[in-house]
Amino acid sequence: PEVVAREPLSHPKKAVTRGHSCVACAHRKVRCDGQRPCSTCRKSDTPCLSKPVQSARARRARTTRDSTATLTTTPSSSNFVETTVSEHLPTLTGEEDSELDFGPIPSTSPHSMSVEGLLFGRSLINLSDQHPTASRIFWLWSTYLENVNPAVKMLHIPTVQPLILNAASDPKKQISAPKQALCFAIYLVAIGSVPQCIHAEAERIMDQPINELINLYTGLAQQALVNACFLQTPNFITLQALTLFLVAQRARTDSQTLWQLTGVAIRSAQQLGYHREKALKSPSVSVFQAELRRRLWWELTLLESFAAKQCGVTSMLYSRSSWDTNRPLNVNDSDLHPEMRQISEVRGITEMSFCSARFEIGELTMAYTSPDWQSSQDMSQADAAIQKLQQRLEDRLLKYCDPSIPMHRMLQMFGRGALARIRLTLRRHQMFAKSGLSLEQRDCTFLLCLQLAEAPNRFAKDPTIQKFLWQANAFFPLDAFMFLLGEIAYRTVGQPLPAPLETVWAEVEKSYESQPRLLCDESNAIYNAVRNLTLKAWEKSKSDRNVEQPVPHFIRMLQSKLPNNRAVEKASHTASESTISPGNMTTNTFDGSEFDFDLDSLDTSWSKIAIPDDPEFWEYWQQFATDVPGLPII
């Protein structure tokens, strides 16, 4: 790659004309002499870049909008900044997006700090020769449309497709930094969405192994974001690129990094006013632009909520008092165009239907897992809200689904399965409390958790919907999976499981096959707990059956991870101790203190562990990890 030169270049002198300051002088608000390089840039040894000239059409359109825009608030109003900023947000399509085409803003001195350098790198690198060949760009774009677009409906395809065609026709042609960042983000997420069953075909087309491709385009997408100055000068296109980049990294990067980067994206969106419906309804923002910004904001909202749960913290967006952006409408891309004045929602299946269901379910989940609701724990209110949502989804979307269409079948599975997940999440504190669930309730919960664990395994085996597996794998029902293992490990004699043990272990094995993180992720303490709990459950199963069973491959892998198998021995010892006689058995507890929560007496050091979601729930599971020598408890 070619590093952008920072030495001054020599050009013939030009007459100074009004409005032709270079980018650096305009940014620093100093007078520019109009030469290239100008005297200021020569002194500071920075690139002297000309600001692109706005087209006459764009100037006329902006003048018309500005003449009709009025401020309805005064400078003393709390919404004045949001309203003022929104009225000066750049337009996003056609010729008017020339405002977004500025090159990277140079540093004010050779030694000034690059904010992006704190995250991805420092140097600006020319990526024009890093685009794939035309045939590969077409394949990547087709893969994006097939695998990603239905599940993450963030881009307006008729608007973005010309950009892709432009990159394919002549990658070395001048493409603005924000648009180039979007191109590389699309390439990355498309490669990451390729299902295992067609890896060979993808590697043949791209002439490189999938893992190497993912690493390559992760680096290129990062560099493209750096080139676009995504932190210093965020705009709609760079924020789209950053969001797609984070979506691609959701199941690959560690939870702490993902959470921090989603926070960056949220702050950028707030800076642009996307979190306020009032800003999106400003006279300077068209109906078309507002709808695309709603799509982007809601995608970021769910992404940040997901990342926060993975880190065991509360989402910064759990309270709707901090944002009020309406949910995007259930409409096709063909229903949206830049000149439209109004838009109505469509009843039935559209290109947006899957995301529409995701957003509505996500909104309910955030509302009923927030600290505000957890303080009241009004289950009747939550159950009523879930029931209403289920009926709304059936009437609005699910009854129109055709199971023969892969996207429709995915929508049905997600819509009905997600509501079950919400119910399970809201009762999580009861699932593990000593006096929480009766044996009958535990049996019902066990069967529900088994169904939730089976769903992604069935998903992985269905060839027609494997193209969406990249999305499903990010939302593995870990809580349900752990409940199954806990029941196997700690049920006492006389309390048989409500499903055949062989069936349960078959699903556990499939889960380990389809979720590599369960076996390999060493960065998150909860996965260590899952692995140790799995071994406890296996040893308990062996002792209960008194029959020598062949050891599955995933169990051997787990055992090999433990030093000298000491934890396995301890697991076996613990499991045998948990088997008590029927005469001493109780029907509404697991194994005594193992499931008894007393938050006031918890070891304060446990609060420092990066574990996801509800501390009351995860605190129990952390007890398993403490049995493994060498696990960090900090």
DSSP of 513-549, one letter per residue? HH-HHHHH--SSHHHHHHHHHHHHHHHHHHHHH-S--
User: Average of pLDDT values for 113-131?
Assistant: 71
State yes or no: pLDDT of 429 exceeds 80. Answer: no
pLDDT at 454: 86
The CA distance from 629 to 634, in Å, is 14
In single-letter form, the type of residue at position 261 comes to L
Look at the pTM and tell me if it is higher than 0.85.
Answer: no
Average pLDDT of the chain, as a whole number: 75
Give me the pLDDT at residue 367, please.
82
Structure confidence at residue 11 (pLDDT): 40
Averaged pLDDT for residues 173-199: 93
Stretch among 224-228, 409-413, 620-624 having the lowest mean pLDDT = 620-624
What is the reported pLDDT for 509?
95
140-149 pLDDT per residue, tens? 999 999 999 9
With cut-offs at 50, 70 and 90, classify the pLDDT of residue 36.
confident
Q: Are 317 and 263 in contact (CB under 8 A)?
A: no
Range scoring the smallest mean pLDDT among 264-273, 355-364, 368-377, 495-504: 368-377
Q: Strand 2-3 to strand 125-126: parallel, antiparallel, or no bridges (unpaired)?
A: antiparallel
Q: Which residues contact 115 (CB under 8 A, 6 or more apart)?
A: 231, 232
Q: Which pLDDT value is given to residue 39? A: 82
The pLDDT of residue 293: 98
Q: How large is the average pLDDT for residues 486-490?
A: 90
- Please report the pLDDT score of residue 549 as a whole number: 76
Q: pLDDT tens-digit profile of 523-563?
A: 777 788 899 999 999 999 888 776 677 899 999 999 988 76
Pairwise pLDDT comparison (259 vs 122), residue with the higher score: 259
Report the distance separating Cα 210 and Cα 214, nearest Å.
6
Asked whether the predicted pLDDT for residue 584 surpasses 90, the reply is no
In 373-437, beta strands by DSSP E: none
**Least confident range of 22-31, 73-82, 222-231:** 73-82
Rg (CA), the chain: 28
Question: Mean pLDDT throughout 83-109?
Answer: 35
Task: Identify any residues that bridge with 125 across adjacent strands, giving them in sequence order.
Answer: 3
Q: Give the per-residue pLDDT at 343.
A: 92
Average pLDDT, stretch 215-241?
Answer: 94
Position 374 scores a pLDDT of 59
- Is 324 or 89 the better-scoring residue by pLDDT? 324
User: Is residue 216 scored above 80 in pLDDT?
Assistant: yes
Q: What is the mean pLDDT of residues 223-230?
A: 92
- pLDDT higher than threshold 50 for residue 447: yes
Range of weakest confidence among 36-40, 64-68, 325-329: 64-68
- Which pLDDT score is estimated for 304? 94
Strand runs labelled E in 227-275: none
Q: Which of 542, 544, 433 is CA-nearest to residue 495?
A: 544
Report pLDDT for 15.
45
First to last CA, the chain: 43
CA 504 to chain centre: 30
What pLDDT sits at residue 122? 64
Positive or negative torsion for Cα 410, 413, 416, 419: negative
CB 188 within 8 A of CB 217: yes
Rounded to whole angstroms, the Cα distance separating 173 from 159 reads 19
Compute φ and ψ for 500, nearest 5 degrees.
-55, 135
Please indicate whether residue 122 or residue 397 has the higher confidence score (pLDDT). Answer: 397
Could you report the per-residue pLDDT of 565-576, keeping only the tens digit for each? 544 444 444 444
Model confidence at 19: pLDDT above 80: no
Q: Do 542 and 549 touch, CB atoms closer than 8 A?
A: yes
Most confident option among 48-62, 492-506, 536-550, 571-585: 492-506
Q: In Å, how far from its chain's centre is CA 87?
A: 29
Q: Name the residue among 606, 614, 613, 612 with its Cα closest to residue 631.
A: 606
Residue 305 CB neighbour total at 10 angstroms: 21
**Per-residue model confidence (pLDDT) at position 121:** 64
Under a CB-based contact definition with an 8 Å cutoff, are residues 631 and 525 in contact?
A: yes
% of residues, the chain, pLDDT over 90:
39
CA distance 432 to 418: 21
Burial of 550 per CB tally in 10 Å (0-12, 13-18, 19+): exposed
| Residue 365 binned pLDDT confidence (cut-offs 50, 70, 90) | confident
Under the banding of pLDDT at 50, 70 and 90, the label for residue 270 is very high
Q: CA 221 → CA 132, 185, 269, 451, distances in Å?
A: 13, 5, 19, 38
Q: Select the more confidently predicted residue: 311 or 179.
A: 179
Q: Which of 326-340, 347-361, 615-629 has the lowest mean pLDDT?
A: 615-629
pLDDT, residue 620, reads 38
DSSP state of 551: P
Average pLDDT over residues 479-487: 89
What value does the mean pLDDT take over residues 430-457? Answer: 77
User: Is pLDDT larger for residue 357 or for residue 629?
Assistant: 357
DSSP string across 420-486: HHHHHHHTHHHHTSTTT--HHHHHHHHHHHHHHHHHHHHHHH-TTSGGGHHHHGGG--HHHHHHHHH
Better-predicted residue by pLDDT, 594 or 282: 282
Residue 193 pLDDT: 94
Pull the structure tokens for residue 182: 């979007």
Contact 91, 98 (CB under 8 A): no
From residue 556, alpha-carbon distances to 149, 527, 538, 548, 552 in Å are: 39, 17, 11, 15, 7
CA distance 193 to 534: 29
pLDDT higher than 80, residue 486? yes
Residue with tokens 């239907």: 353
Most confident among 15-19, 305-309, 368-372, 604-608 (mean pLDDT): 305-309
The pLDDT-based confidence of 477 (bands split at 50, 70, 90) is confident
Give the DSSP letter of residue 345. P
Phi, psi of 143 (to 5 degrees): -65, -40
Say which residue, 101 or 124, is predicted with more confidence.
124
38 CB-contact burial (10 Å; exposed 0-12 / middle 13-18 / buried 19+): buried
Q: Is 630 left (phi over 0), alpha (psi -120 to 50) or beta?
A: left
Average pLDDT over residues 91-98: 36
Stretch among 40-44, 160-164, 318-322, 333-337 having the lowest mean pLDDT: 40-44
Provide the pLDDT confidence category of residue 515 given band limits of 50, 70 and 90. Answer: confident
Please compute the mean of the pLDDT values over residues 304-316 and round it to a whole number. Answer: 85
Compute CA 625 distance to the chain's CA centroid, rounded to the nearest angstrom.
Answer: 27
The pLDDT of residue 602 is 25
